[in-house]
Amino acid sequence: MAKLYFCYAAMNAGKSTVLLQASYNYEERGMRTLIYTSDLYATADDGKVVSRLGVSSRARLYGEGEDLFADIEREHANSAVSCVFVDEAQFLTPAQVWQLARVADRLGIPVLCYGLRTDFMGELFAGSAALLAIADSLREIRTICHCGRKATMVVRRDETGRAVRAGDQIGVERAQYDSLCRTHWEDEMGR
């Protein structure tokens, strides 16, 4: 039985690296995968998932209005798809999360989503909230704070290095982000 998976972590935990490695494992065995990533960070129509280690792969771009079930169903009808991978899953809409659940439930294709759980203000992203609610399997990918404890939070910094305490949830500018434990995040955010 295929499942919908949500693998979440703070920034710089290696989510994209894990995604690319898993996709490679399928492809190495002659199986076809589809990789999706958000169009929020794409330049032109260039879709790629890139890890900090320098590994990358072409990816299909999804935006807010994309019907992922229809796209995957069409691709699967043309040539069997063994697994679907979604990077930046926090940017999915709740409707798209349900579409991906239908891919697992009705097409029998496993769907592995990778993304952030919370934003820099400690609030859930809409896509992450939906995935936490309905995914069959939840997996935390761990990274560490500068103190050595598990990092579960993200702080956004301005150009001077100070923590940003308000603003849009999704900032496509190239801000500096740091992964912190909850204690250090609270200290930075003045809570």
Q: What's the CATH number where 77 sits? A: 3.40.50.300
Positive or negative, the Cα torsion across 126, 128, 130, 133? negative
Q: Please identify every residue annotated as catalytic.
A: 88
Measured distance CA(48)–CA(36) in Å, rounded: 8
Given pLDDT bands bounded at 50, 70 and 90, which one contains residue 43?
low
Q: What rounded mean pLDDT belongs to the chain?
A: 91
Residue 83 within any structural domain of the chain: yes
Residue range 105-161, pLDDT digits in tens:
999 999 999 999 999 889 999 999 999 999 999 999 999 999 999 999 998 888 888
Task: Calculate the CA 84 to chain-centre distance.
Answer: 13
**Which pLDDT value is given to residue 63?**
92
Q: Region 19-34: what's the mean pLDDT?
A: 96
Residue 187 within any structural domain of the chain: no
Residue ranges in 29-116 assigned as alpha helix (H) = 68-78, 94-107
Q: Looking at the 3D structure of the chain, how many domains does it have?
A: 1
**Which pLDDT value is given to residue 51?**
81
**Which pLDDT value is given to residue 127?**
97
Neighbours of 173 (CB within 10 A): 7
**Which pLDDT value is given to residue 172?**
55
Residue 179 within any structural domain of the chain: no
**Which pLDDT value is given to residue 116?**
94
Residue with tokens 């900090």: 52
According to DSSP, residue 164 is labeled: P
Residue 20 within any structural domain of the chain: yes
CB 5 within 8 A of CB 137: yes
Which of 56-60, 74-78, 145-149, 161-165 is least confident?
A: 161-165
Residue 191 within any structural domain of the chain: no
Residue 158 within any structural domain of the chain: no
- Name the pTM for this structure: 0.91
Given pLDDT bands bounded at 50, 70 and 90, which one contains residue 50?
confident
Task: Pull the structure tokens for residue 168.
Answer: 């849009």
Residue of 140, 13, 127 lying closest to 64 (CA atoms): 127
Task: Pull the structure tokens for residue 60.
Answer: 């299909």
Residue of 79, 85, 76 lying closest to 34 (CA atoms): 85
Residue 132 within any structural domain of the chain: yes
pLDDT greater than 90 at residue 40: no
Give the residue numbers spanning the domain of 40.
Answer: 4-142
Residue 24 within any structural domain of the chain: yes
